[in-house]
Amino acid sequence: MKKLTLSVATISLAMMSYGQTTQCEGLTKDSIQCKNKTTQVLCYLHNPNYVKSNNKKSVLCNGITKSGKNCKLKTKNISGYCRHHESQCHNCDEID
């Protein structure tokens, strides 16, 4: 549920706030709105696409393509899914 709500907010806000610095839409563990500023909708702490450092190893995406094959893209996402297949991640809500 949380993920669905977030992605809807992400889409609408990404269009409105492009290029501006806004408060992160993410929620902290205490369910308070994150106070970080970001030029995107979510700050690096809450943005699953954010790549923290270069020395993190890329892994092969765990996602499955539309043709039913394993995705061959490398990703540095903590979730282990590339940005095309994040929606296939079932534990992404647990990652903070």
Q: Rule CB under 5 A: which residues touch Zn ion? A: 24, 26, 34, 36, 43, 45-46, 61, 63, 71, 73, 82, 84-85
Rounded least distance, CB 41 to Zn ion, Å: 9
Nearer to Zn ion, 13 or 45 (CB): 45
Task: Specify whether the CB–CB gap between 34 and 48 falls below 8 A.
Answer: no
Neighbours of 8 (CB within 10 A): 10
Rounded least distance, CB 38 to Zn ion, Å: 7
Task: Specify whether the CB–CB gap between 79 and 48 falls below 8 A.
Answer: yes
Nearer to Zn ion, 79 or 85 (CB): 85
Task: Specify whether the CB–CB gap between 55 and 39 falls below 8 A.
Answer: no
Nearer to Zn ion, 61 or 89 (CB): 61
The C-alpha atoms of residue 77 and residue 86 are separated, in whole angstroms, by 9
Rounded least distance, CB 61 to Zn ion, Å: 3
